[in-house]
Structures are given as structure tokens and as C-alpha cells.
Chain A
Amino acid sequence: MALQDVCGFLETLDDISPCTYLPSEMGYMWRTPFEFDRDSAFHFLFPPQQCRRKNRAPTLFSSAFSSLSPHQQPFHLSHGTTTLGFIFQDGVIAAADTRASCKGLICCPISQKIMPIHSHLVVNTSGSGADCMLWERILTREMRLYQLRHRKRLSVNGAAKLLSMMLHPFKGTNVCVAATLCGWDGDETQEALQSCMEIADVKEAMEHGTSVSTILNKSALGSEKMASINEQDAHALKPTVSDQNTKNVLSTFGGWSGPRVCYVCSDGLQLKGEIISVGSGSPYAYAVLDDGWRWGMTVDEAVALAREAVFRATHWDAYSGNNVDLFHITAHGWRRRDREDLKEEYYRERERKKKMIKDREKERQKREGGELAEGEGDIYSVCCR
């Protein structure tokens, strides 16, 4: 690669790449870029390059794409949103608003920003609508191919890396995709899981002192450890993959299984974390989430928290609004909550505030009435009687 750069080898890419030439009236040639992807679905057409710089050493991937100067587009693509995803002890919650705006006009008040990829993975998309739609389809295709070839599902981190690599050639162009992958990593092979559980059981029992509720029938070593550490809960459980507690344990120790949230951006940024929120309304959502998030939340608490975060974000951010979509992913797969119109929530909020004011009034009057009753010698109180 270094030699290529020095010699300017890739500069002659125009000659060696398989292109279809269509002369335009200006005399420039249209080019299609070389196939960076062996089975790329797209042949992108580019306008003629305005300035060709000699001695430019492009990187392997981005030569064709980042050097173009796109013509000024007379329209704007849809942007602006609030999406969030977080993990907790019982899975992953993914929530988003449903407004798709386009520089001041709401193109679509009922768009769907959370799209399921497979049974245990859901992606929150934000950025340009068309880009998100297409890249989500490409990712679904690649995940399915992986699953067919390797007979197991690709993990959330793996999917994030894959998407990041696919988006890399477009770095520098105005492709704008910010995707949050929310899913549950589940290992299909049980042996690997059980060996993991052994180690995890010991650690968990020692550190947290909570009960570990699985018995490994296969490994006697495991039960010995169990018995020595924790006499209380040795109730038998099938060593199934869908044991929530174990999942919790494993994910805490960076194991192979559990809830996961991963952020991928078309700039190339990749983040892992517990709470991720993207979009113009994300500061407001983060404020609510940071306040209320605990690992040990129940499902209802988590759902309420996500809903509240999106609601507050839609209230403050002009580019978010309309409805809230909510998905909950567990080891059994994803489940979708009915889309809820936030308009009603505003009315309920107003009722609650009215009620609070009334209660406060009553309190104040009670207090004042009490004070008056105490000061009997006062001339004012005599008049009030």
C-alpha cells in the first residue's frame, strides 16, 4: 500500500476500472466506480470531476467517492429525529419518534424509524431517510447471508462492524446514516454457554452474593462450586439458553450473550454502551434517561422511562414529534408495543398539572387557616370571624 501511494498507482484507476462510458454533451465522461464489494447491488453514477489533482494519493476505498464535488442539490433530504436505545436486566428497549422532516416541512408524520433486522436485532435509524432505508436493507441481506453460511446469528457487535465497513467507502460524501443496533446476543451452541456459565456463576456468587439459579447437569465441577458457595438456591432449572439471570451475569462480564446496544455512524464512529440516544432531540432524551436508568429496572419501568424520554424530547425539539414507537427485545425475540400518539399525553399532562395546582391551593389554605386560628389576639383574626 505504501508503494502504491508513493508511485501514485491508484491515480490511474480510471483506466483500469471496468466502467461504462456515457458521453454527455459537455464532453466529460460519466464513470461508475470499480466494484469494491464483490456483489455490490449498486452502480453509482457520478458527475464529472471538476478538478483533477495530480499526485493525489487516495486511500484504497475512498478514491472514487470522496473526490467528487457534488452539484448543489436544490432540495434537502429528511433529517431530525429522536431515537434511543438502552439495555437493562431484562433486555433492550428501543424507542423513537415518528416525524420525518425536510427543512421546515414535515414530510411524513408517521414514518417508521425502528426496523427489525431479524428476530433478535432491531435497528434505530436516523439521518437521511433514503440512506437509512437502503442501508438497512443491505444490512439485513448481509446478516441473512451470514446466518445461512455460518449457521448462527451474527452478534450485535459483529453487525456493527459489518455496517461500519460497508459505510466506510462513502466517508466524505453526504451519505448520512446514524444507526443504533439494539439486540440480544444469544449463543445457539449450548456447550459454549454452559462453560461460560460455570465461570460466571462463581464470579457472580462471590461478588454480588445473589443466587445463581442454574444447575449444570453435565459438569460435576460446576455443581461442586455451586454447593460450596451457595447452599440456598440450588433449584433445578433446564439449561436452556433463555435464562435471564445468566444472561445478565454473562453480559456484565463481557460474555458472549446478553442485551447489547451499538451505535454506528456513516462517519465511521462506532460506540458501545448502555444508553445511546441519537438525533436532534437526543440531549433532552439523555437528560431523562440518565436520571431514571438503573440496571435492575423492571420491564414496565423501562418502557415508561423510554416513553417519557421521547415525550420530553418531542416537546422541546421542533424536529421530533407525533407518535412514539417502542420495541422490547429479550432472549425470545423482539416485541412491539402499539404506536402511541403523544398528542393525548399533552392533554393528560395538562390535567395532571391542573390537579397539582389545585392540591397546592388546598394545602396553602389549610396552612393559612391553621395560622389564623393560632393568632387569636390579633385584630385581623377577630374581623375574620
Chain B
Amino acid sequence: MISAQAYGENGKMKEYHYTGPVEHKFSPYAFNGGTVLAVAGEDFAIVASDTRLSEGYSIHSRDSPKCYKLTDTTVLGCSGFHGDCLTLTKIIDARLKMYKHSNNKTMTSGAIAAMLSTILYGRRFFPYYVYNIIGGLDEEGRGAVYSFDPVGSYQRDTYKAGGSASAMLQPLLDNQIGFKNMENVEEVPLTLEKAVQLVKDVFISAAERDVYTGDALKICIITKEGIREEIVPLRKD
């Protein structure tokens, strides 16, 4: 069995050169890797995640997607500590059902985002170690992406990457979708086909350089017709 104490923060192995006596303390957190990405368009939203579940130097599973379908118009992507991801999604499902039963309608994306913010802040002093991104359609049918930090600070974006490879993907998205740092560029609105192709390319690049990202990519495409899923293989090494 792998000892949790061999891993320092962020899931990386600790130094094995002897530096002096070290106090080992139980840490309730572990880092299970994974990358999540969400893009909002005119009338669609895409939430994509890889399916690798790792811890330290090992891979626990190659088929553990991080996108969770909440309603017909909303998908939640969460990466970080898998235990907290599972509990959080169970709590959100329960709250969605409660809302449906007391208000006789499904929660909108904006409402789910606000609710998730308060759920996360309720654990301000022992946070859920999860990086969440919600993708869906708002009441007017336009794409919406809400990105969170582990304690519940959130805002609405057009695109956002979260998880282990987020620092690599976000600048690329800034350039390709946000047209940042480009001169004399014609800003065409993003079409669904181009967005899906972009997401696939971006994850292939992430798998090249990030050890915690790979195996397969699951894309959830949310339009007014419903949610469509696509699975694309990635590097398995």
C-alpha cells in the first residue's frame, strides 16, 4: 500500500536525501491530478476533462472522467482531490433535487454557481480541495462558464482552464479565444466546430507536457438540444 506520508503537497514525492528529522503528520488531502477546461460560445458551451486519476508516481485509473452532468443544461468539471470531488458532487445533486422538489423547476446555471459558492465557503476553514468549473447555458440560451477557487470565489468567464495543466492551457486560450496580445486581428465569433477542434488540440498539447494529464479526453458539448459526449484518446505514457 502506498503511504500517504511519502508525498508532500501537490502530490509530488518528497526529497529522499536525509535533511534531518522530519515530523510526519497526517494530511487529509491528496492530489489526484487532472485538467478541466470549459469554453462558452454564442449558443453552446463545452466542458472537457482528461480521464486520468493519479497520485504521486502512480496512476490509479485511466477511466475516471471529471465532468459531471448536473442538469440538462449544466455540466460541472472538478479536479483536485478526488475524494472531495465525489462528496461535492453528491452534495450538489442532493441540493438540486431539493430545489426541484420545493420550487418545481430545475436550477439555472447561474443559480447553481451561486449555490456552489456558498457550499464551498461553508468549508472555509477546512476547504474542499477541488478546482471547479461550471459550463452551461444561461436563461437566454447563451453559453456561460463559471470558474471557482477552492473556497468559493467565482466569476463568469468566456473560457477557463483548471487543474494541473491550467497554467499551460490558460495562456493558449487567452490567445486563441480571447485574441489577446495579437495585433490587427479580426475577432470572429467562435463556432462550435472550431471550439471542439481547439479543445482537442489544446489537450493533446497538455498531455505532452503535464504528467498528470493524459489517457483520454472526454468532451461534453451543451447545446439547446441537450448534452452530447465525445471521447478522444490521448497519450497513455
Contacts and interface: CB of A to CB of B under 8 A. Distances in A.
Q: Do A and B bind each other?
A: yes
Given A72-B9, A74-B9, A74-B31, A130 B125 contact: no
B68 interface: no
Interface of B: 9-10, 25, 27-29, 31, 117-118, 120-127, 129, 147, 149-155, 167
B31 A77 contact: no
A323 to B, nearest CB: 12
A74 B126 contact: no
B129 A45 contact: no
Nearest to B130: A75
Interface stretch (A101-109, A261-269, A283-291, A292-300): A101-109
A130 B126 contact: no
A107 B149 contact: yes
Given A74-B10, A75-B129, A77-B149, A130 B123 contact: no
The binding surface of chain B is classed by DSSP as loop
A60 to B, nearest CB: 19
B149 A78 contact: yes
Given A75-B129, A77-B149, A130-B149, A44 B28 contact: no
A36 to B, nearest CB: 15
Contacts, number: 77
B119 to A, nearest CB: 11
A128 B150 CA distance: 12
In the A-B complex, list the 9 residue pairs whose CB atoms are closest, starting with the nearest. A130-B153, A129-B153, A130-B151, A74-B9, A130-B152, A47-B126, A74-B29, A133-B153, A134-B121
Nearest to A104: B167
B49 to A, nearest CB: 19
A251 interface: no
Contacts of B150: 73, 75, 77
Contacts of B129: 73-75
Contact of A77 (B9, B28, B118, B151): B151
Contacts of B151: 77, 128, 130-131
Among B117, B126, B150, chain A packs the most CB atoms within 10 A around the CB of B126
